[in-house]
């Protein structure tokens, strides 16, 4: 591999926030008003991927409620434990019919070693995207948040994330009907740290709406 992947961590996260703030007055204003965003990370594990699946297209509160219910029932989430649950038991943990299928597909892929998560850690982002998207129910948004939060790659900008898109429109005072291409142009100056810019924008969104996060 020609060059190491850029990752953020406890050592460089605040420096990267400050670097972006120096380049962008709107990001600087968010930090001045609300402080630095939390460094939102999760382990690069099967359990995290299950949570990301639960977070698809629902509120964070709904996803955390389902995840909490699942953890109470089975403890640390493993492929074997997911596969041992019946549809009724997963429904009792607030899994939709689709997400039952997705969780089982992922559990089967990991258990049969069709997907080996440890091998993804140092892979190129394109390779990771191809491997994860082979699993039914894992699309670009889920890959993006796994790369951001679990592998701590610095340059993701998930336009499939409604909160991020809304925050970008608010902070940059963009037209409500702006295209994805134009939004990517707005984010272009933040390369190669668009993940950190995303976290600053999420921070603004959460603070503005007084959303209480858990989990």
Domain definitions of the chain by residue range: 13-40+156-208, 46-150
Topology, domain 13-40+156-208: Endonuclease Iii, domain 2 (1.10.1670)
- Positions marked active-site: 161
Residue-level pLDDT at 3: 44
pLDDT over 70, % of the chain = 97
Rounded CA gap, 205 and 6, in Å? 26
CB atoms within 10 A of CB 154: 21
Distance, CA of 121 to chain centre: 15
Mean pLDDT within 73-102: 98
Is residue 215 predicted with pLDDT exceeding 90? Answer: no
Rounded CA gap, 137 and 155, in Å? 23
Rounded CA gap, 108 and 35, in Å? 42
Band (pLDDT 50/70/90 cuts) for residue 1 is very low
Per-residue model confidence as pLDDT tens digits over 40-54: 999 999 999 999 999
Indicate the CATH number of 46-150 among 1.10.340.30, 2.60.40.10, 1.10.287.3510, 1.10.10.60: 1.10.340.30
Is residue 2 predicted with pLDDT exceeding 60? Answer: no
Mean pLDDT within 142-161: 97
Rounded CA gap, 55 and 99, in Å? 10
Residue-level pLDDT at 64: 93
And the tokens for 176? Answer: 């409500």
Residue-level pLDDT at 77: 98
Per-residue model confidence as pLDDT tens digits over 114-124: 999 999 999 99
With a CB cutoff of 8 Å and minimum separation 6, the contacts of 11 are none
Band (pLDDT 50/70/90 cuts) for residue 214 is low
Is residue 144 predicted with pLDDT exceeding 70? Answer: yes
151 versus 57: the higher-pLDDT residue is 151
Q: Which of 10, 4, 12 is nearest to 193 (CA)?
A: 12
Residue-level pLDDT at 60: 84
């Amino acid at each position: 591999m020609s060059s190491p992947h850029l990752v953020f961590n406890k050592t460089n996260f605040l420096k990267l926030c400050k670097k972006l703030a120096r380049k962008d007055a709107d990001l600087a204003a968010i930090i001045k008003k609300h402080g630095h965003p939390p460094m939102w990370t999760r382990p690069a594990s099967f359990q995290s991927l299950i949570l990301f699946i639960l977070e698809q297209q629902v509120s964070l509160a709904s996803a955390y409620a389902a995840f909490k219910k699942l953890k109470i029932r089975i403890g640390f989430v493993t492929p074997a434990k997911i596969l041992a649950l019946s549809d009724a038991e997963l429904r009792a943990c607030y899994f939709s019919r689709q997400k039952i299928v997705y969780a089982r597909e992922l559990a089967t892929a990991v258990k049969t070693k069709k997907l080996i998560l440890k091998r993804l850690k140092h892979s190129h982002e394109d390779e990771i995207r191809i491997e994860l998207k082979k699993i039914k129910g894992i699309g670009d948004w889920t890959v993006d948040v796994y790369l951001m939060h679990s592998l701590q790659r610095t340059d993701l900008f998930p336009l499939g994330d409604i909160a991020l898109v809304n925050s970008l429109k608010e902070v940059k005072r963009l037209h409500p009907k702006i295209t994805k291409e134009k939004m990517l142009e707005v984010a272009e100056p933040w390369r190669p740290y668009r993940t950190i810019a995303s976290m600053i924008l999420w921070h603004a969104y959460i603070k503005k709406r007084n959303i209480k996060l858990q989990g």
